[in-house]
Structure 1
Amino acid sequence: MVMNIADEKFERDLIDNRARSVAHLFIDRVAKSGQDEAYRFPQGGAWKSMTWAQTDTHARQIAAGLVALGVDAEDRVAIASSTRLEWVLADLGNMLAGAATTTVYPTSQLADVVHILTDSGSRVVFAEDTGQVEKLRSGREQIPDVVKVVVFDGEGDGEWVMTLDELRELGRTRLEETPDVIDDRVAGIKPQHLATLIYTSGTTGKAKGVRLSHDCWTYEASAVDSTGLLNAGDVQYLWLPLSHVFGKMLLCLPIQVGFPTVVDGRVDKIIDNLPETQPTWMGAAPRIFEKVYGKINTMMEADGGAKLKLYRWAVEVGTKVANERADGREPSGRLAIEYKLADKIILSKIRARFGGHVRYFISGSAALNKDIALWFSAIGLPILEGYGLSESSAAASVNRPYLGANQVGTVGWPLPGTEFKLGEDDELLVKGPGVMQGYWNLERETAEVLTDGWFHTGDIGEISESGHIRITDRKKDLFKTSNGKYVSPGAIEAMFKGVCPYASNLVVEGDGRKFVSAIITLDEDAIAEWAEKNGMAGKSYRDVVTSDACREMVQGYVDEMNLRLNRWEQIKRFIILPRDLSVEEGEITPSMKIKRRVVVKKFKDDLDELYTD
């Protein structure tokens, strides 16, 4: 049995003596690290830095501006923006004002935005740009509680909309008049006060507001800190949506530990930015790892010949080493010699694409394919998969980078102070300081999922002898074929992304049917490269993915995956959609989770045709 090597007394002391609130945590960090770099961000084609002391100045001005607008303790202040420095500053301003941040994805449709703002009773909204402002204007009559919109990029109108600079100027004036206004607000914040209202992505029905207190976030930060995963010498690259609970947690960690964070939400710039910013770690959703894995493997396949053979050999050696380390052993003898050579000529060059300094990645928000995770470990960039939900303030468990501790295919050990147990039907139940207070204004729904402090996750799982947690599927997604066999669609969908480098999404169907079928979409960038190499350069995405040649290629990968599945789980027939699933069409959530029921219902007629004979 592998045991956690972290010192239990150190863990307990760090957690028990955690800060009273996120605001107190931030003030402590400024006192300790005022002149150190806090954030790095793109501006005018270059990278600019902001110290903790400079961040404090900005955040206090924003906080005082909010107070001047009439924002009281625990009032909700929404942020509708992509990931950028201003999001961070607005959130810190909210914390210092004693307000609670309500998160709004910038991609959300008007109806969803109206629901979140009215349900939360948000008083002020930070909006990224004129597009977000116009969205709010179009629904203004439905959001009467919103007294002011503060725009990051755009102009004010002298009435309902003001700029961020105008808010900061208002704050400066308030601080001149009442210098202690923010310190007084912070002094009044209690651990149980509302800090964040995160609306679940809503794969079914309307999104619910998850009530997360300051105590939830300070626990998360101190618990992760106590594991020894991170240190003050680290550099984080942060691109994840900050409206997502995982992104919000990644804002708390640097305040706790003291390392700088590179902030840039442009997903298309990640690979270009990593060599420039040279982070030591990054949190990400599985889709990023899937794309990188697919890109490198298709590129090597295209090169072919001796180069491809050398690459395959190096990955094979790296995989053996990764397996040795997972079993608690460092490679020795011939394997150690081979690995040193493989690393020098192949693996180190792949790592250089990520800046050359990454120690590991942390993956969350959805299931990570085991083959992809093992490949990253093989090249020397281990992925520490974790598990959590909005209702658990993000991380409830995570793998550790210690020898023998990172078990690929699991989501690691519980965070110190968090407990797991199996309930009815092997449903995972979680309990700890990170668990939410409840759903906003939904007492019945809260009572349905919280029992004596235990949160019913809705996920089916296992707990190994070593204490590692394994997720097998969502309880509500399991279905039974007409032959009486249970199928776990999530496991199959994750598997396909490890087999097919061109895959974007797979939706498995077969509930009550005689066999399992699937809806498949392909990655636009990857399939464009495939098309160019297969005589279809210049053709539209639709023409390429609906071609006989493309279908034959996908069929080959489906056949390969089927060899790994039980007979009743195998994909017998499938549809390739002429477009990818999208947030705009309501088929995936802003956090990139598939709305399986929506997709199956939307394409029901096409699926029915697969079962006609």
Structure 2
Amino acid sequence: MTDPKRLFDFPYYQLEKYPQEGALVSKVDGTWVKTSTQEYLDKANAMSRGLIKLGVKPNDKVAIISMTNRTEWNICDIGILQTGAQDVPIYPTISQEEYEYVLNHSESTYVFVSCNEVLEKINKIKGNVPSLKGVYSFDAINDCDNWNTVLELGDANKDLQEEVQKRMDAVHEDDLATLIYTSGTTGKPKGVMLSHKNIASNAKHSEGRLPIVMGKSTALSFLPVCHIYERMLLYMYQYCGVSIHFAESLETISANLQEIHPEVMTAVPRLLEKVYDKIIAKGTALTGIKKKLFFWAVDLGLKWEPYGQNGWLYETKLGIARKLIFSKWQIALGGNLKAIASGSAALQPRLARVFNAAGCPVMEGYGLTETSPVVTVNDMRNNGFKIGTVGKALPDTEIKIAEDGEILVKGPQVMQGYYKDPDQTAEVLKNGYFHTGDIGVIDSEGFLKITDRKKSMFKTSGGKYVAPQLIENAMKQSSFIEQILVVGDGEKMPAALIQPNWEFISEWSDREEKNIPKDIAIASKNEVLISYIQKEIDTYNERFGKWEKIKTFALTPDIWSIEDGQLTPTMKAKRKVIKEMYKDLYEGLYGRS
């Protein structure tokens, strides 16, 4: 078989090149259950036949909503695409109103759900979605058809396989494959139209940036597969013959790493920050020589540079640190990791340094849903890695910086447009380039550095421009700060709304006997805590110009979350939502409350 061009070609390519006993592996009732490449395809074809029998036609839309990544998701995905229909992956944690909007906007005919929690939301709004013909569940749920009934329907109609093949043959690589609705920080979600070629090309080009042994590596998958980042990588893993293990949940990742010992996994910076904070907390609890050795190793790691740039003496010390201290970090992450691919938000340089120094390589990349998603990525090989950057462009990808600093992208991964929205499409696709809305620079070696979102930059009343993400990324290095939103558009000075790291603060308060209240609503007004956070702010303010320094801040009395609306599903702060949610705190920052 030639290189896969359409998304459903990937498992067939794997079957021919690197057939796997455990192509897809999920934990069921405490046991890892393997699905071979052949079984994967057999079930996908049964799904295709079942959907055709249900009346699914080419260009119909079928939604998939799952709380966790699982084997069934991938079988549905390939099964749907083989019919010439398109799938619509939906974030499970969005509101039922957003479910209703996405299902109506996409005119989805069927929806596959993972569990009762998702089903309850669907049941409340399905009467308002005229196009919806049926709902199927992966889990066994009373009063809901099980997805196995579609597979059984396909098994009972094997004569339809010829029709499946006809439909597959009719699908071109430039045809629409999927609609992915961006979470967005404001307004209605936009349906990003991605073709088979968009995603397939990205998967094949990304393969060259990760240290994978074709046909032999293992991956742990836990980032939401409804996000194009993890989904694209699943196709890439199939292309490379990687055995994909799906984590049970975010809470079980540590245990799953110990069970699976993967070579590669993906992560978002927030997760790496939490891992780092927990490691530091453990180190802080040590005493005597053990504690001194621990922080000697950490301090050494924070000075790490790639390719031995620090010289032989540093590398000698690092070898000792890895043997005495960092080897335990490696074991905690499964002991076999060759790469952690970090994306969706900016990675703090200190995390890139310390994890790489520890022998747990973190490769930061950059992309958007509209670019399928990868535009650039770091790679330790071939001088392709530089701290503080998001790497070099993928093959066949052109990046240029507009006069105002905006990053423009041209390449096979750039979306077809926004579904049913030609006006917004025209705003971002101009002269063959996708206008990302991000601000950045490309250095003399071709490395891209992101500095901010174009729309999030603001001007103070004094006429000075402020790039809030730069300040936020610096401030989040503080163990006291979980999330921060820098504000000040049209105001006399920048200020900040801060969600403290309550887990760290609780441990710190107990250890240092600071008596910070456990009730976070009360603790957010605690003068002792506020004074300590002020010291942290003062420290990081030194990095910025006078007009950029955070002059005042307020602690929010809640934990920001996706469910409560402060964060997008990729853990980005919703700026307008947070400002409105904490309007009184915001006004108080400027003495107006």
**TM-score range for the pair, normalised by the shorter chain length:** over 0.9
Return the letter of the residue paired with 2:481.
Answer: A
Shift, 1:199, TM fit = 0.4
Could you tell me how far 1:477 is from its partner in structure 2? 0.4
Q: Determine if the alignment matches structure 1 residue 567 to structure 2 residue 550.
A: no
Per the alignment, residue 10 of structure 1 pairs with none
Which of 493, 498, 506 is the matching residue for 1:520? 498
Q: 1:46 to 1:538 in 2, by over 3 A?
A: farther
SS of equivalent to 2:34: strand
Counterpart position of 1:103: 89
Please give the alpha-carbon distance, in whole angstroms, between the structure 2 residues aligned to 1:35 and 1:497: 42
Could you give the per-residue CA deviations for residues 518-538 of structure 1, whole angstroms, max 9, x where no partner exists?
111123433332343244498
Offset, 1:340: 1.9
In terms of mean alpha carbon deviation, does 579-588 or 530-539 score higher? 530-539
Deviation, 1:361, is 0.8
In the TM superposition, what is the alpha-carbon distance from 1:169 to its structure 2 partner?
0.7
Q: Deviations over 1:5-31 (max 9, x none)?
A: xxxxxxxxx9xx642311122222123
Does structure 1 conserve the Cα–Cα contact (< 8 Å) formed by 2:562 and 2:569? yes
**Equivalent residue number for residue 249 of structure 2:** 266
Distance 1:333 1:389, change over 3 A: closer
Structure 2 CA distance, aligned partners of 1:568 and 1:266? 43
2:188 to 193, 202, 206: 206
Taking the TM superposition and a 5 Å limit, the aligned residue runs for 1:352-501 are 352-402=331-381, 404-498=383-477, 500-501=478-479
Aligned ranges 1:54-93 → 2 under 5 Å: 54-82=39-67, 83-93=69-79
Partner in structure 1 of residue 32 of structure 2: 47
- 1:411–1:470: 8 Å Cα contact kept in structure 2? yes
- Is this contact kept in 1: 2:3–2:13, CA < 8 A? no
- Aligned partner (choices 278, 297, 301) of residue 314 of structure 1: 297
Aligned to 1:134: 120
Shift of residue 402, structure 1, vs aligned partner? 1.5
Map of 1:9 onto structure 2: none
| Conserved 8 A contact 2:499-2:556 | yes
Question: d(CA) in 1 for partners of 2:301 and 2:273?
Answer: 19
Q: Tell me whether 1:245 sits opposite 2:236 in the alignment.
A: no
Rate the CA distance shift 1:258–1:381 in 2: closer, same or farther, 3 A.
Answer: same
Instruction: Give the C-alpha shift of residue 228 in structure 1.
Output: 5.7
Residues 7-22 of structure 1: matches in 2 within 5 Å?
18-22=3-7
Q: Pick closer, same or farther for the CA change 1:255–1:98 going to 2, 3 Å.
A: farther
Distance in 2 between residues matched to 1:209 and 1:230, nearest whole Å:
32
Q: Give the CA deviation at 1:336.
A: 3.2
The 2-side partners of 1:312 and 1:35 are apart by 43
- CA deviation map 1:77-135 (0-9, x unaligned): 10111222222222122222222110111111011111111111111101112222221
Instruction: Report which stretch shifted further, 427-436 or 222-231.
Output: 222-231
Equivalents in 2 of 1:256, 1:220: separation in Å? Answer: 12
In 2, the alpha carbon distance for the partners of 1:518 and 1:241 equals 29
Equivalent residue for 1:287, pick from 267, 270, 284:
270
Aligned to 2:487: 509
Q: How much is the aligned-residue C-alpha RMSD, in angstroms?
A: 2.0
Check conservation: 2:378, 2:390, Cα contact below 8 A.
yes
Determine the structure 2 residue equivalent to 1:5. Answer: none
The whole-number CA distance in structure 1 between the counterparts of 2:585 and 2:208 is 51
For 1:199 and 1:48, the matched residues in 2 are separated by: 31
* Residue among 155, 162, 177 paired with 1:180: 162
CA-to-partner distance for each residue in 1:368-425, whole Å, 9 max, x for gaps?
A: 1122222212212221111110100011110112263211111111110111001131
Q: Deviations over 1:287-320 (max 9, x none)?
A: 1011111111233223354323212222333445
Name the residue aligned to 1:220.
202
Q: Which residue of 2 aligns with 1:37?
A: 22
CA contact (8 A) 2:472 2:486 kept: yes
From 339, 344, 348, the equivalent of 2:327 is: 348
Q: Is it true that 1:601 corresponds to 2:580 in the alignment?
A: yes
Structure 1's 526 and 403: CA in aligned 2 closer, same or farther, altered over 3 A?
farther
Q: Indicate the residue corresponding to 2:281 in structure 1.
A: 298
Return closer, same or farther for 1:517/1:153 CA change in 2, 3 Å cut-off.
Answer: same
Distance 2:66 2:210 in 1: 32
Post-superposition CA distance 1:424-445 (Å, at most 9, x none): 3110000100000011011111
> What secondary structure sits across from 2:25 in the alignment?
strand
Query: CA 1:318 to 1:138, structure 2 compared with 1: closer, same or farther past 3 Å?
Result: closer
Indicate conservation of the 8 Å contact 1:241/1:265, yes or no: no
Report the CA distance shift for 1:178/1:511 in structure 2 as closer, same or farther (over 3 A): closer
Q: Distance in 2 between matches of 1:541 and 1:53?
A: 52
Code of the residue aligned with 2:173 in structure 1: it is P
Q: How far, CA to CA, are the matches of 1:538 and 1:579 in structure 2?
A: 14
Quick check: 206-215 or 123-132, which moved more?
123-132
Gaps of 5+ in 1: 1-13
Is this contact kept in 2: 1:294–1:502, CA < 8 A?
no
The residue type equivalent to 2:562 in the other structure is V
Worse-matched range after superposition: 110-119 or 148-157: 148-157
CA change 1:509–1:330 in 2 (3 A) is closer
Find the residue that maps to 2:178 and give its secondary structure. Answer: strand
CA spacing shift, 1:333–1:154, aligned 2, 3 Å: closer
- Relative to structure 1, the CA distance from residue 228 to residue 96 in structure 2 (aligned partners, 3 Å threshold; closer, same or farther) is same
Which of residues 152, 163, 183 in structure 2 aligns to 1:169?
Answer: 152
Q: What is the alpha-carbon distance in structure 1 between the residues aligned to residue 20 and residue 436 of structure 2?
A: 42
The separation in 1 between residues aligned to 2:434 and 2:232, in whole angstroms, is 19
TM-score, length-normalised on structure 1? Answer: 0.92
1:579 aligns with 2:561: no
Q: For 2:397 and 2:382, locate their aligned partners in 1 and report how far apart those are by CA, in whole Å.
A: 22
Deviation (angstroms), 1:576: 0.9
Q: Does the 8 Å contact 2:556/2:582 carry over to 1?
A: no
C-alpha displacement of 1:331:
6.4
How many angstroms apart in 2 are the aligned matches of 1:271 and 1:547? Answer: 34
d(CA) in 1 for partners of 2:474 and 2:310?
28
Structure 1 stretch 465-474 or stretch 232-241: which is displaced more? 232-241
The DSSP-based 3-state class of the residue aligned with 1:37 is coil
Runs of 5+ unmatched residues, structure 2: none
8 A Cα contact 2:516 2:523, kept in partner: no
Give, as a single letter, the amino acid of the residue that structure 2 aligns with 1:184: K
8 A Cα contact 1:96 1:186, kept in partner: yes
